[in-house]
């Protein structure tokens, strides 16, 4: 399916300082990495890495085991094939594979270059155990698309991750690149793009997508945003999404105010074809000034727009953290023996919280919609270990049982920030909140000044209040579940049970019935969910197999028109349903009524003091 090779020449300009002196000679040549995207063989790309001359005998070359933002061990080395080290005469040098991602090269002083073939990840996701999350993966589709998450192509030599790189990518003439890397225009051509990078992290932090031109660029308060879209079957153009993205990102920038961490931002959107082996992991992966988004091409436009709003809004807020506020574990990330930070509550939790808060503050959603989102996060967070210390989980996120709780950073992580935001508002009489705190931390640290992981909580407490220290110790470092209603009450809100109307057989897009394919496609009432009043008033139960409705034998085909007719039923409409329950046939009948369900809602409390109402206004409206 995907056959193409891009030539990436990575020129690593090595200075004669630091750890490099012991391995690389002072007068060494730049490291050149070549990825040929024009001559693809068996859906693989050949890469050549020329490091110049080494002074040491033993050299170790690595492909990343993990990369920032994934919080998983993906072992990109498993996509590397036929690794070779060559001397200056083109003869092979002895190599030893140390692990799945690392190779030791003997006779380092004779090393001219290494070369290897790289397979992509998108069309092998169903074949490979522990497949890479698609937005962190790679695509090689000859003449059509190349998704270059460069950690899947470009490796590094031990001791030289901080050296400058210069990338050169040989490309088909018909394809253009989208990336936040600065293209060296004078050194590039129709067949070759060249990009300088200050260090290895900058290489892998700037993905490149090559595709036929399909992009839109717009300005948002000093930030140039480019949306580049690949739609394999031509279903969408970037112009279809431009207006919604411009409105959303404009609101984000208005929310952030004077936070200016980047002058450019690039959105690389890959739409996957579900009718062939292709990317299956939908979502996005953040980078400092860009994001890779993977979504199914089959989505209707309205759903695609909403998915982009939800996904990109989260990723864009990463320009606050970890771009402007991050620890040494992020600044000096070890790609093959990573030391994880304890602050996922901030890197992902604050980001996810802002991705929701800005929408209410900028008028994109209603207060009720915002409350519903927070309530959903409370509900979702209960699927994880609510007594697990968030900092312990974060520090050990690559190991079990912590890895299984990772997704809670988007649920409880956001809720930690909601409660902390309310607490800050309360102590400052509404003047300070989480956005204020992140701005203060950005001023103190910024893009190039990391903090010590163990010191951040202390720094925040010095900037704020003793109650914040107690909050961190009890709910973030500690294992005490958060009483969300306690914090919501501070802004005059409470959680109550209310009645909400549903459909008869469907609650929005969620069905109350299902098909047992393994049992002759029998139609049954779903178990393990709260049924609406239509089912409960008729004394029907989860697990009941529906045999007849109004004397009609029920199959998938006969049920469809009945569901369609149900949209026109009134409360007085009579119905008779025959079900099988535990081998017994039971018949029930009666009026269908108006189908409702009981749901929990966050609502303003009555008769609360004005101070709490004002505090809520400051929280939701900034």
Nearest to 293 by CA among 273, 307, 306, 274: 307
Confidence of residue 204 (pLDDT cuts 50, 70, 90): very high
> What whole-number distance in Å separates Cα of residue 53 and Cα of residue 65?
26
Q: In what order do the strands lie in the sheet with 165-170?
A: 7-10, 165-170, 192-197
> What whole-number distance in Å separates Cα of residue 181 and Cα of residue 202?
8
| 429 has a pLDDT exceeding 80 | yes
pLDDT tens by residue, 299-347: 999 999 999 998 999 988 888 888 888 999 988 888 888 899 999 999 9
Nearest to 555 by CA among 564, 545, 565: 545
Q: Which two tokens stand for residue 141?
A: 């589709």
Q: Which two tokens stand for residue 361?
A: 């503050």
Would the CA dihedral through 177, 179, 180, 181 be positive or negative?
negative
The model's pTM is 0.80
Ranking 275-279, 491-495, 612-616 by mean pLDDT, the lowest is: 275-279
pLDDT tens by residue, 245-299: 999 999 998 998 877 667 899 999 999 998 888 998 899 998 888 999 999 999 9
| 11 has a pLDDT exceeding 80 | no
Nearest to 101 by CA among 153, 155, 62, 46: 62
> What whole-number distance in Å separates Cα of residue 132 and Cα of residue 124?
10
* 138 and 153 Cβ atoms separated by less than 8 Å: yes
The pLDDT value recorded for residue 29 is: 56
pLDDT tens by residue, 553-582: 999 889 989 999 999 999 999 999 999 999
| 18 has a pLDDT exceeding 60 | no
* 4 and 36 Cβ atoms separated by less than 8 Å: no
The pLDDT value recorded for residue 322 is: 85
pLDDT tens by residue, 48-92: 888 877 777 889 999 999 988 888 889 999 999 999 999 999 999
pLDDT tens by residue, 450-466: 999 999 999 999 999 99
| 541 has a pLDDT exceeding 60 | yes
The pLDDT value recorded for residue 550 is: 94
> What whole-number distance in Å separates Cα of residue 132 and Cα of residue 543?
37
pLDDT tens by residue, 147-156: 999 999 999 9
Percent of residues, the chain, with pLDDT higher than 90: 67
Q: What is the mean pLDDT of residues 8-19?
A: 28
The pLDDT value recorded for residue 544 is: 94
pLDDT tens by residue, 155-186: 999 988 888 888 889 999 999 999 999 888 88
**Helix then strand then coil, % of the chain, to nearest 5:** 35, 25, 40
Show the DSSP H helices in 205-282 as ranges.
238-256
Neighbouring C-beta atoms of residue 317, cutoff 10 Å: 24
| 6 has a pLDDT exceeding 50 | no
> What whole-number distance in Å separates Cα of residue 491 and Cα of residue 612?
5
Confidence of residue 10 (pLDDT cuts 50, 70, 90): very low
pLDDT tens by residue, 581-604: 999 999 999 999 999 998 889 999
The pLDDT value recorded for residue 260 is: 63
pLDDT tens by residue, 497-519: 888 899 999 988 789 999 887 76
The pLDDT value recorded for residue 334 is: 85
Using CA atoms in the order 376, 379, 383, 389, what is the torsion angle rounded to 10 degrees?
Answer: 100
Nearest to 4 by CA among 45, 64, 33: 45
Q: HSE, CB side, 13 Å, CA atoms: give it for residue 135.
A: 24
The pLDDT value recorded for residue 12 is: 28
Confidence of residue 7 (pLDDT cuts 50, 70, 90): very low
| 19 has a pLDDT exceeding 70 | no
Nearest to 502 by CA among 542, 528, 537: 537
């Amino acid at each position: 399916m995907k056959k193409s090779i891009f030539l990436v020449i990575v020129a690593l300009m090595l200075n004669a300082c630091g750890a490099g002196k012991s391995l690389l000679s002072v007068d060494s040549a730049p490291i050149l990495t070549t990825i040929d995207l024009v001559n693809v063989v068996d859906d693989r790309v050949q890469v050549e890495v020329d490091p110049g001359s080494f002074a040491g005998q033993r050299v170790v070359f690595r492909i990343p085991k993990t990369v920032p933002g994934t919080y998983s061990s993906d072992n990109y080395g498993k996509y590397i094939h036929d690794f070779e080290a060559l001397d200056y005469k083109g003869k092979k040098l002895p190599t030893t594979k140390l692990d799945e991602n690392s190779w030791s090269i003997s006779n380092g002083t004779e090393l001219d270059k290494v070369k290897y073939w790289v397979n992509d990840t998108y069309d092998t996701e169903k074949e490979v155990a522990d497949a890479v999350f698609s937005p962190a993966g790679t695509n090689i589709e000859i003449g059509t698309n190349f998704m270059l998450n460069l950690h899947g192509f470009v490796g590094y030599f031990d001791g030289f991750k901080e050296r400058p790189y210069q990338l050169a990518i040989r490309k088909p003439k018909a394809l253009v690149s989208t990336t936040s890397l600065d293209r060296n225009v004078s050194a590039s051509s129709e067949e070759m793009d060249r990009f300088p990078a200050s260090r290895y992290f900058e290489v892998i932090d700037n993905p490149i997508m090559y595709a036929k031109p399909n992009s839109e660029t717009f300005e948002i308060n000093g930030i140039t945003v480019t949306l580049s879209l690949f739609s394999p079957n031509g279903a969408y153009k970037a112009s279809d999404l431009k207006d919604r993205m411009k409105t959303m990102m404009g609101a984000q920038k208005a929310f952030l105010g004077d936070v200016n961490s980047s002058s450019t931002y690039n959105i690389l959107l890959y739409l996957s074809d579900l009718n062939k082996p292709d990317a299956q992991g939908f979502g996005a992966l953040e980078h400092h000034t860009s994001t890779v988004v993977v979504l199914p091409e089959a989505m209707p436009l309205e759903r695609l727009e909403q998915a982009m709003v939800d996904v990109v809004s989260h990723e864009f807020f990463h320009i606050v953290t970890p771009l402007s506020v991050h620890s040494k574990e992020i600044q000096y990330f070890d790609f093959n023996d990573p030391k994880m930070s304890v602050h996922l509550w901030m890197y992902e939790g604050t980001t996810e919280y802002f991705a929701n808060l800005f929408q209410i503050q900028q008028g994109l959603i209603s207060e009720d919609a915002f409350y519903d989102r927070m309530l959903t996060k409370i509900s979702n967070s209960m699927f994880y270990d609510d007594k697990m210390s968030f900092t312990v989980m974060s520090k050990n996120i690559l190991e079990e049982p912590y890895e299984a709780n990772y997704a809670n950073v988007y649920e409880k992580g956001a809720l930690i920030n909601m409660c902390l935001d309310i607490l800050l508002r309360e102590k400052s009489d509404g003047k300070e909140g989480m956005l204020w705190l992140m701005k203060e931390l950005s001023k103190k640290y910024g893009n190039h000044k990391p903090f010590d992981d163990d010191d951040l909580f202390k720094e925040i407490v010095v900037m704020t209040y003793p109650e914040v220290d107690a909050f961190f110790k009890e709910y973030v470092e500690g294992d005490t579940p958060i009483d969300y209603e306690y914090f919501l009450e501070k802004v005059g809100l409470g959680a109550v049970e209310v009645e909400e109307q549903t459909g008869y057989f469907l609650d929005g897009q969620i069905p109350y019935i299902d098909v047992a394919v393994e049992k002759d496609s029998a139609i049954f009432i779903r178990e393990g969910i709260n049924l609406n009043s239509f089912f409960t008033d008729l004394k029907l139960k989860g697990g009941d197999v529906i045999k007849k409705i109004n004397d009609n034998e029920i199959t998938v085909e006969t049920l469809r028109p009945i569901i369609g007719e149900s949209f026109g039923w009134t409360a007085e409409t009579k119905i008779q349903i025959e079900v099988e329950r535990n081998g017994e046939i039971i018949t029930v009948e009666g009026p269908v009524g108006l189908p409702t369900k009981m749901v929990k809602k966050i609502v303003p409390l009555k008769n609360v003091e004005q101070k709490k109402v004002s505090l809520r206004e400051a929280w939701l409206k900034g």
